[in-house]
Amino acid sequence: MLRRLAVVALVVTACSAPTADITGGTDLPTITVEEFTSHLNALDRPAVVNVWASWCLPCRSEAPLLAEASKTYGGRIEFIGVDVQDSQPDARQFLAEFGLDFDHFFDRDRAIPNHYGGIGTPITIFFGPQGELFALHNGVLDERTLALNIDEILQLGA
């Protein structure tokens, strides 16, 4: 029995991605609510804003989905990450691990999610092309919710 468990553990470990080794990198820029809303308004295209933290387990689950979506829709939608209540080194490690290569901001005090009425972490907020709030999703994302709301904000911009 123990041998079987050891084999299963070995297989599971081998199948999982290695942890990224982050020794350097630059800090995420900090941003205020005012700066953030100005940034959104200036985009002139829809935006998906994901509020995350490196310590947040559900954020790990949805990160690959966001990475895939940003690769598919990155040309038509702005993907933005907002890292809350986190440390810069942990944030860099998280981003490198999941390959979330869109813009991220550092919001230690959670001012941005609080401004939009979000609860907990993660939160995903969908904005229209003029920076208007379309939908706010509290909690971990599933593919359907993400795809549906992406379709909605793309139609707002059409």
Partner 1 sequence: MEFSLLWAALTAVAAAWLGLRIWDEHLPDRPMDHLIAAVVIGLVAGRLVAMIGDGVNPLTHPADIVIVRGGVETVAASVAFIAALVWGARKTPGAVDAMAPAVLLGVAGWHAGCVWRDTCLGTPSDLPWAWAQTGSLVTRHPVELYAAVGLVVGAIVVSRVGWRLWARAGVALGVAAGIRLITEPLRPSLSGGPVLWYTAGILIGAVAAAAGPRFAGSSANHST
Binding site for partner 1 (CB under 8 A): 9, 12-13, 15-17, 57-58, 60-65, 68-69, 72, 97-98, 134-135, 139-140, 142-148, 150-152, 155
> Quick one: 73 or 105, whose CB is closer to partner 1?
73
Q: What is the strand order of the sheet 47-52 is part of? A: 103-107, 78-84, 47-52, 123-127, 133-138
From the CB of 57, what's the least distance to partner 1, in Å?
5
Q: Which of 148, 140, 147, 142 has its CA nearest to residue 53?
A: 140
> Quick one: 94 or 105, whose CB is closer to partner 1?
94
C-alpha atoms less than 13 angstroms from C-alpha of 2 in its C-beta half-sphere: 0
From the CB of 109, what's the least distance to partner 1, in Å?
26
From the CB of 21, what's the least distance to partner 1, in Å?
15
Give the 3-state secondary structure of residue 137. strand
> Quick one: 2 or 15, whose CB is closer to partner 1?
15
> Quick one: 38 or 61, whose CB is closer to partner 1?
61
Answer for the pair 154, 46: CB distance below 8 angstroms, yes or no.
yes
- Six-digit token string for 42: 């200036």
Answer for the pair 98, 67: CB distance below 8 angstroms, yes or no.
yes
From the CB of 151, what's the least distance to partner 1, in Å?
6
